[in-house]
Structure 1
Amino acid sequence: MKKNILFDGLRSVARIGETAVVAAKAGIKYATEKPSNAKLMRETFESLGSTYIKLGQFIASTPSLFPREYVEEFQGCLDQTPTLPFSYIQQVLNEEFAGKDLSSIFKSIDETPLASASIAQVHAAVLTTGENVVLKVQKPGVETILYTDLNVLHWATKILEKAVPKVKFASLSEIAEEIKTRMVREVDFIEEAQNLEDFRSYLQITQNQQAMAPRVYHQFSTRRVLTMQRLYGVSLTDLDVVKQYVKDPTQVLITAMNTWFGSLMMCKSFHADLHAGNLMLLEDGRVGFIDFGIVGQLKPEVWQACMRFMDALQATDYDLMAENMLQMGMTKTSIDTKVLAEDLRRLFGGVLLADPQELLQSNPADLNAVMMDMVAVGERHGIRFPRDFALLFKQMLYFDRFMRVLAPFTDIYADQRLKMLQDQAPISLLKH
């Protein structure tokens, strides 16, 4: 135990030194090359690794807290990292299953990873009982680095707030605390396992047999190792391959969207990172949802307000849009909805003049720009949107990309099979 504490202490000191070196290089680059502040910040964050990459993604998904140029620049903040040798992964497995011979749990573990990101690496394995599983293994030292970085970040925000009282990023220490809360959850695989179980319970209670999520093997899972059922399927971004499994690719997308929309109303949390790597068409025709490390929380009434806002948008009823915008966000002051409605008219009038459906048919970059404009309008009126609103909108952008592949000539939102608001009856069963 003392050895581990000493080792973690040394690693923290080394991490602070590494951070200082990268920051110094960034300072030299700024002085010599004069890149934009946002670009330099993104490149520096990517050089600093896992914690800062996650911070960059937080900035990209939180337009209500950060300036637009930073939000747009950090859209390109990557989360793929070089793979680690299997010996490092084996070290974590031995530590987490101390006292047990790994051969008594796993018949085999594939040394070549299926995927590698900033926090964890994923390997295929077979249990001694014969089940095919995947192991999500936290990379060595990630937790120590995370806490070191977050402490440095918190210390830096306190200094910056004192040195520059009118700093553009308001309430920096509060933002740092929010980041810490989110990121600490992401390195706790027990919480991710619970997210998975909640989603599986939702599928069972709603009798949804068209979608599934992997089973968790709790007896072989810890805070740093998550053992799950292995799902076999193909990406929804390859239309030719999808057609080999199903006759109607559009139905696959509608199933995925209906399942996700239902989770907004009926689950404790919703999958907030459902990109092409985390959504697949299984060999039996079902839709598979994987990787519940990043989730959001949304009150059902907020999602209902979002839907009413979109209905009012298509009906060009700006007064109704303003009323529902108040329900979507948070405000501490009284709002003049008439003035807000006029601002919304100026924002959306040009977009909707030609076709009320045009907003939904725009490309993802345009949709993201519209969202940031809408958030900016809300901010001017004292409306602060919760971060999960941005996560919600980001997922809508992911679905937009799936639509372009699976249903390029179909208006999915006009399809009668799509149910964006669903019966709330099971909520009490899932949320208590």
Structure 2
Amino acid sequence: MKKNMLLDGLRSIARIGETAVIAAKAGIRYAAEKPSNAKLMRETFESLGSTYIKLGQFIASTPSLFPREYVEEFQGCLDQTPSLPFSYVEQVLQEEFAGRDLTEIFASIEPTPLASASIAQVHAAKLVSGEDVVIKVQKPGVETILYTDLNVLHWATKLLEKAVPKVKFASLADIVEEIKLRMVREVDFIEEAKNIDDFRDYLNATQNQVATAPRVYHQFSTRRVLTMQRLYGVPLTDFDVVRDVAKDPSQVLIAAMNTWFGSLMLCQSFHADLHAGNLMLLDDGRIGFIDFGIVGQLNPEVWSACIQFMDALQKTDYAAMAQNMLKMGMTDRAVDVTRLTADLERLFNGVLLGDPQQLLNSKPNDLNDIMLDIVAVGERHGIRFPRDFALLFKQMLYFDRFMRVLAPYTDIYADQRLQLLQNFEPAQQFKH
């Protein structure tokens, strides 16, 4: 125990030193090259690694808290990192299953990772009992680095708030606390296992036969190791393969979307990072949902208001849009609904040029701009959108991108097969 505490202390000191060096280099570069503040910050965050990459992704998905320039720049904040040698992975496995011979659990483990990200990397393996699995293994020192970085950030934001009391984002320390809460959950694979179980319970309760998620082997999982059933298929990022394999590529995505939209109402949390790499078309034709490390929680009333907002947009009913913006957001002051309605009408008249269908036919970047514009209008009226609403909207942008590639002639949100609101019983019936 003392040895581990000493190692953690040394890692913390080394991390603070590494952070100071990278920050100093960024300062020198700014003086010499004068890059944009947002670009320099993104590149510096990527150099600093996992905690700051996650912070960048938080910025990208929280347009209600950060300036447009930063939100747009951090859309490109990458999470893929070089893989670690297999010896490190073995070290973590031996620590987590101390007292047990790994050969009693795993018949084999592939040394080459299937994927490597900032917090963990994934290896294919086979259990002694014969099942094919994947092992998600947390990279050594990640938790220590996480706590060190977040403590430094918390200290820095407290100083900033004291030095500049009128700073625009006066609740920076609170934001760091929220990030800390979410990221601590992400490095706890027991939490991720619960998210997967919850989603599988939802699929079973709704008798969903078109989608699945990997079974978790809890007896071989810990806070730092997650052992799951291996799903065979291709990610939706392999667009050419999906088009070749699927008779109707649009149906693949419609099935995935219907499953996900149902989970918004019926699960304790929703998958909040469902880019195409986390969706698979399996060999048996089902849709595989993987990687439940990042989740959001959405109040059913907020989702209902979001759907009604979209419906009002298609009908160009700006008064209804204004009313549903109030239901989606939070405000601490009285809102003049008539003025909000007028602002929305001016915004969308400029965007749609008289054609309400243009929104649904615009490019993804345009949709992101529209989201930022909606948030900006809300801010002017004192409406603050919950962060999970931004995660929700971002996910819908993902779906829009997929459909443009897989089925470019399909009007996704006008498709009769799509069920944005599903008539299921409340999720409490099957929640743990």
**TM tier relative to shorter chain:** over 0.9
Three-state SS of the structure 2 residue aligned to 1:357 is helix
| Corresponding residue for residue 263 of structure 1 | 263
- 1:414 maps to amino acid: A
* Distance in 1 of aligned mates of 2:170 and 2:63: 13
| Corresponding residue for residue 121 of structure 1 | 121
**Contact between 1:273 and 1:294, CA under 8 Å: does it hold in 2?**
yes
1:166 CA drift (Å): 1.9
1:169 CA drift (Å): 2.5
Three-state SS of the structure 2 residue aligned to 1:123 is strand
| Corresponding residue for residue 238 of structure 1 | 238
- 2:172 maps to amino acid: L
| Corresponding residue for residue 282 of structure 1 | 282
* Distance in 1 of aligned mates of 2:56 and 2:322: 31
1:422 CA drift (Å): 0.6
- Closer/same/farther in 2, CA of residues 329 and 424 from structure 1, 3 Å limit: farther
**Contact between 1:206 and 1:426, CA under 8 Å: does it hold in 2?**
no
Moved more, 38-47 or 212-221: 38-47
Write the deviation string for residues 115-163 of structure 1: whole angstroms up to 9, x where unpaired: 0000000000000000000000000000000000000000000001111
* Distance in 2 of aligned mates of 1:52 and 1:430: 37
* Distance in 2 of aligned mates of 1:241 and 1:65: 39
| Corresponding residue for residue 191 of structure 2 | 191
| Corresponding residue for residue 411 of structure 2 | 411
Three-state SS of the structure 2 residue aligned to 1:228 is strand
| Corresponding residue for residue 132 of structure 1 | 132
- Closer/same/farther in 2, CA of residues 239 and 86 from structure 1, 3 Å limit: closer
* Distance in 2 of aligned mates of 1:172 and 1:51: 16
User: Which ranges of structure 2 fall in alignment gaps of 5 or more residues?
Assistant: none
**Contact between 2:280 and 2:287, CA under 8 Å: does it hold in 1?**
yes
| Corresponding residue for residue 26 of structure 2 | 26
* Distance in 2 of aligned mates of 1:26 and 1:115: 29
Write the deviation string for residues 152-194 of structure 1: whole angstroms up to 9, x where unpaired: 0000000011111122323111111111111111101000000
1:431 CA drift (Å): 4.2
Output aligned runs, 1:158-169, within 5 Å. Answer: 158-169=158-169
1:239 CA drift (Å): 4.1
- Closer/same/farther in 2, CA of residues 45 and 345 from structure 1, 3 Å limit: same
| Corresponding residue for residue 252 of structure 2 | 252
| Corresponding residue for residue 102 of structure 2 | 102
| Corresponding residue for residue 58 of structure 1 | 58
**Contact between 2:243 and 2:406, CA under 8 Å: does it hold in 1?**
no
Write the deviation string for residues 280-312 of structure 1: whole angstroms up to 9, x where unpaired: 100000000000000010011110000000010
Output aligned runs, 1:28-107, within 5 Å. Answer: 28-107=28-107
Output aligned runs, 1:207-226, within 5 Å. Answer: 207-226=207-226
* Distance in 2 of aligned mates of 1:53 and 1:246: 35
Moved more, 421-430 or 60-69: 421-430
| Corresponding residue for residue 316 of structure 1 | 316
- 1:135 maps to amino acid: I
Write the deviation string for residues 3-26 of structure 1: whole angstroms up to 9, x where unpaired: 000000010011001111111111
With the length of structure 1 as denominator, give the TM-score of the two structures. 0.98
User: Which ranges of structure 1 fall in alignment gaps of 5 or more residues?
Assistant: none
Residue 378 (1) aligns with residue 361 (2): no
**Contact between 1:123 and 1:135, CA under 8 Å: does it hold in 2?**
yes
* Distance in 2 of aligned mates of 1:361 and 1:292: 30
* Distance in 1 of aligned mates of 2:50 and 2:240: 35
Residue 352 (1) aligns with residue 352 (2): yes
- 2:27 maps to amino acid: G
* Distance in 2 of aligned mates of 1:266 and 1:220: 28
Residue 298 (1) aligns with residue 298 (2): yes
Residue 273 (1) aligns with residue 273 (2): yes
1:352 CA drift (Å): 2.7
Write the deviation string for residues 181-229 of structure 1: whole angstroms up to 9, x where unpaired: 1111110100000000000000000000010000000000000000000
- 1:337 maps to amino acid: V
* Distance in 2 of aligned mates of 1:238 and 1:37: 35
| Corresponding residue for residue 393 of structure 2 | 393
1:426 CA drift (Å): 3.7
| Corresponding residue for residue 327 of structure 2 | 327
* Distance in 1 of aligned mates of 2:45 and 2:109: 33
**Contact between 2:360 and 2:411, CA under 8 Å: does it hold in 1?**
no
**Contact between 1:105 and 1:127, CA under 8 Å: does it hold in 2?**
yes
* Distance in 2 of aligned mates of 1:43 and 1:9: 27
Output aligned runs, 1:337-348, within 5 Å. Answer: 337-348=337-348
**Identity among equivalent pairs (%):** 80
* Distance in 2 of aligned mates of 1:244 and 1:132: 26
Three-state SS of the structure 1 residue aligned to 2:277 is coil
* Distance in 1 of aligned mates of 2:373 and 2:347: 8
Moved more, 104-113 or 403-412: 403-412
Three-state SS of the structure 1 residue aligned to 2:356 is coil
Three-state SS of the structure 1 residue aligned to 2:276 is coil
